[in-house]
């Protein structure tokens, strides 16, 4: 049931030797979601030991190349991997035209089916559901950048409460099949006629975990709404705050501003991303963010962040991890 967030690229518009262009994978039950797809993203899949053919959906924030140019190549590669189910691609208006212009990867040309969905940030008043399964939903809201931009929130639907087998045994339930029935919400009648109700052995419904992705953007209402009480927020922090004027001019955020969004939204943890190439070391940006919101770190590429407040954050694999 774990959902794991894996930053694949944390650079600003210019990649460096240590930072790659924007992309974040979310892995759940062997399936993958991808948020942004900068140039070279499929190579980052190899370094992270992730199977590209398992990508169910891609969510593009805006049509700047450092968030988008890897998409045609990824789509074409997946087409060579004998995929037999459609992949959804979501992004602002203009995404369909971009994909149609890329040789061989239009909706009509993909052997596995490519479902391109466009959203219109300028006309969005509330959150829009852009992708949904039985277990989670992805919503979009408009952000504030130089071009139409959306941010995304992945939220699991409420989960069943925890089953307490020791309480069930105390009530006389010993059959493992009855354990499953009780956990699914069904009452069980024992041989002596006693009825055991699920409420006696199953805890309260648990809210699902949540993840918000907001880049490139100025601090804005859309970003704060996406981040509301999220377990993990990944937010644009292109500049330190001494360059706040440049951040305003270019439609980005400073580390301090990202931390203010996290604090105001009540998130559990903030990871800074889209870091300018001028910062070889992100420690000053992290210190700036922590002065406002202590649970701030720079996103570490290839590190696995488990979306469960009970779990510890994962360790980063080495760059030489087997593909």
d(CA 216, CA 218) in angstroms, rounded, equals: 7
Q: Which of left, alpha, beta for 274 (phi over 0: left; psi -120 to 50: alpha)?
A: left
Q: What is the rounded CA–CA span in Å between residue 36 and residue 215?
A: 9
Residues 6+ apart with CB under 8 A from 4: 26, 27, 28, 304, 305, 306, 307, 314
- HSE-up of 206 (CA within 13 Å, CB side)? 16
| Region of residue 138 (phi > 0: left; psi between -120 and 50: alpha; otherwise: beta) | beta
The token pair that represents 314 in the structure block: 């994962």
Q: Between the CA of residue 130 and those of 3, 97, 136, what are the distances in Å?
A: 19, 19, 11
Residue 302 DSSP code:
T
Active site residues: 66
């Amino acid at each position: 049931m774990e959902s794991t967030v894996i930053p694949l690229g944390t650079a600003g518009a210019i990649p460096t030797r240590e930072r790659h262009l924007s992309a974040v994978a979310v892995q759940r039950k062997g399936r993958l979601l991808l948020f942004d797809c900068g140039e070279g993203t499929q190579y980052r899949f190899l370094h992270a030991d992730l199977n590209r053919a398992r990508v169910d959906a891609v969510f593009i924030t805006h049509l700047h190349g450092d968030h988008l140019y890897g998409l045609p190549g990824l789509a074409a590669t997946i087409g060579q991997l004998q995929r037999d189910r459609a992949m959804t691609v979501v992004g602002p208006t203009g995404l369909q035209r971009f994909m149609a212009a890329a040789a061989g990867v239009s909706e009509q040309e993909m052997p596995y089916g490519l479902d391109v969905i466009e959203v219109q940030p300028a006309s969005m008043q509330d959150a829009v559901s852009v992708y949904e399964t039985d277990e989670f939903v992805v919503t979009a809201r408009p952000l504030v950048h130089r071009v139409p931009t959306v941010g995304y929130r992945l939220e699991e639907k409420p989960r069943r409460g925890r089953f307490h087998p020791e309480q069930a045994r105390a009530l006389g339930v010993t059959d493992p099949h009855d354990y499953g029935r009780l956990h699914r919400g069904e009452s069980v009648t024992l041989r002596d006629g006693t009825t055991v109700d699920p409420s006696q052995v199953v805890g309260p419904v648990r809210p699902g975990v949540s993840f918000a992705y907001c880049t490139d953007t100025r601090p804005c209402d859309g970003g704060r709404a996406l981040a509301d009480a999220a377990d993990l927020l990944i937010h644009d922090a292109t500049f330190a705050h001494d360059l706040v004027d440049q951040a305003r001019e270019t439609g980005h955020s400073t580390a301090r501003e990202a931390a203010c969004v996290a604090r105001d939204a009540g998130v559990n943890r903030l990871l800074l991303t889209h870091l300018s190439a001028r910062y070889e070391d992100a420690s000053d940006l992290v210190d700036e963010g922590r002065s406002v919101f202590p649970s701030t770190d720079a996103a570490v590429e290839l590190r696995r962040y488990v979306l469960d407040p009970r779990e510890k954050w994962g360790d980063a694999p080495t760059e030489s991890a087997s593909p």
